[in-house]
């Protein structure tokens, strides 16, 4: 359980400190390029849904963290809290999966939904990364697992996504 508490503490700091998490590459090559991910990186996040029940569509937190398209999606449900929480967990998992290469603000990571309902990651900026995310929630927890890799990677995406979906389902089943 310690990892869950560490993760929630990390989220608490990002949500409440008001710091501008602007794009800051951790490492830059002499030609100005950002170093590539060696293989792939994984990010995981889990958060309590109740933390999102107090936030309305026009709350400062919602307007600062979510894009207009994410807000429309989440508030399109009678109970937006599970959708806000799973979208936020997705953003955090994506952030964690790319943070070894670069830091970018949570609001620059957008989690959209395909016609099938599958989450789609959009990184606003010029990145040579692809990121896939799997989201899930129970009645009280939302969880996400993200996989980041280079655009020209030879990773078997279908197999990797199957693994991610199993991991994220197991995260919320154990509550």
Looking at residue 155, the DSSP 8-state letter turns out to be -
The helix/strand/coil state of 129 is strand
Position 21 pLDDT exceeds 50: no
Alpha-carbon distance of 17 to 119, in angstroms, equals 28
- Give the position of tokens 């508490």: 5
Looking at residue 106, the DSSP 8-state letter turns out to be G
How does DSSP assign 71-83, residue by residue?
HHHHTTSSS-HHH
Position 140 pLDDT exceeds 80: yes
H or E stretch at 43:
strand 40-48
Task: Report angle CA 112, 113, 118 to the nearest 5 degrees.
Answer: 130
pLDDT at 66: 95
* pLDDT tens digits along 60-117: 999 999 999 999 999 999 999 999 999 999 999 999 888 877 777 777 899 999 999 9
Domains of the chain as residue ranges with CATH = 2-173 (3.90.470.20)
Structure tokens at 75: 């508030």
- Give the position of tokens 């957008």: 110
């Amino acid at each position: 359980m310690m990892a869950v508490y560490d993760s929630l503490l990390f989220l608490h700091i990002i949500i409440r400190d008001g710091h501008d998490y602007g794009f800051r590459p951790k490492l830059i090559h002499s030609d100005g390029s950002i170093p590539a991910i060696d293989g792939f990186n994984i990010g995981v996040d889990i958060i309590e849904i109740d933390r999102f029940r107090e936030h309305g569509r026009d709350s400062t937190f919602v307007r600062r963290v979510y894009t207009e398209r994410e807000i429309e999606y989440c508030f399109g449900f009678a109970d937006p809290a599970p959708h806000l929480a799973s979208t936020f967990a997705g953003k955090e998992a994506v952030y964690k999966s790319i943070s070894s290469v670069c830091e970018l603000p949570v609001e620059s990571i957008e989690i959209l939904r395909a016609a099938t309902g599958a989450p789609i990651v959009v990184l606003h900026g010029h990145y040579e990364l692809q990121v896939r995310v799997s989201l899930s929630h129970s009645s009280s927890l939302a969880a996400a697992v993200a996989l980041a890799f280079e655009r020209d990677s030879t990773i078997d995406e279908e197999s990797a996504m199957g693994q991610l979906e199993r991991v994220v389902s197991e995260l919320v089943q154990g509550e």
